[in-house]
Amino acid sequence: MDRMNPKVNWFFDKASAWQVEYGLLRDIVLDCGLDEELKWGCPCYSLQKKNVVLIHGFKEYCALLFMKGALLKDPKGILIQQTENVQSARQIRFTNAKEITKLKTTLKAYIREAIEVEKAGLEVKMKKTDEYKVPEEFQKKLDKDPDLKAAFKALTPGRQRSYLFLISQPKLARTREAKVEKFIPMILDGKGPDD
């Protein structure tokens, strides 16, 4: 494969799990004519510098992640939305090499469709920040503290969504309250949760 990027080889060489599966996925994706590079520590495949699909793995499975998977038709019903908060990306998961080999033709069809989506310039319609539910514990603080409310509104939409997501994750109210308290100084400083 002449499209292989030697800078990406380290990902495949260092993999302690999924080596055979990763190799099969790499061959399939490269056979579709995409450029290979390393992004977010994973092999990422792009068309004219626009990300189309990447390969990644977890303990239980490895996967192809389609950046705009929500726009794919998915006739085989194999695309998975990782969590309810993932708006655009979709995965196809594998637990062994046989599954990949069996789906080779299907995978190429999905990749080619993803390429056409990118060529057409299609975009996933993302939810606006105000469409997200504000956790009750955080809303109470916003209602009581106008400075906090103003600081939160001044954050970028991405930072706002990150806070809403992180605060809403815990099941227990006291854990959500603790998250709110932890994040208040960062919000007042105009920082995101990862800053």
DSSP characters for the chain?
-TT--GGGHHHHHH-SS-HHHHHHHHHHHHTTT-EEEEETTEEEEEETTEEEEEEEE-SS-EEEEETTGGGS--TTS--B-SSTT--S-EEEEESSHHHHHHTHHHHHHHHHHHHHHHHTT----PPPGGGSPPPHHHHHHHHH-HHHHHHHHHS-HHHHHHHHHHHHS-SSHHHHHHHHHHHHHHHHTT--TT-
**What are the tens digits of pLDDT across the range 2-43?**
578 999 999 999 998 999 999 999 999 999 999 999 999 999
pLDDT at 1 over 70: no
Share of the chain above pLDDT 70, in %: 99
| One domain for residues 139 and 96 | no
| One domain for residues 106 and 139 | no
| One domain for residues 106 and 80 | yes
pLDDT at 83 over 80: no
Per-residue confidence (pLDDT) for residue 113, from 0 to 100: 98
Does residue 195 lie within any of the structural domains?
Answer: no
Per-residue confidence (pLDDT) for residue 84, from 0 to 100: 73
Does residue 124 lie within any of the structural domains?
Answer: no
- Average pLDDT of the chain is 93
**How many residues are present in the chain?**
195
| One domain for residues 51 and 141 | no
- 119, 149, 174: which is the final residue of a domain? 119
- At 75, is the pLDDT very low, low, confident or very high (cuts 50, 70, 90)? very high
Per-residue confidence (pLDDT) for residue 2, from 0 to 100: 57
| One domain for residues 133 and 156 | yes
| One domain for residues 32 and 92 | yes
Look up the domain containing 160 and give its range: 129-188
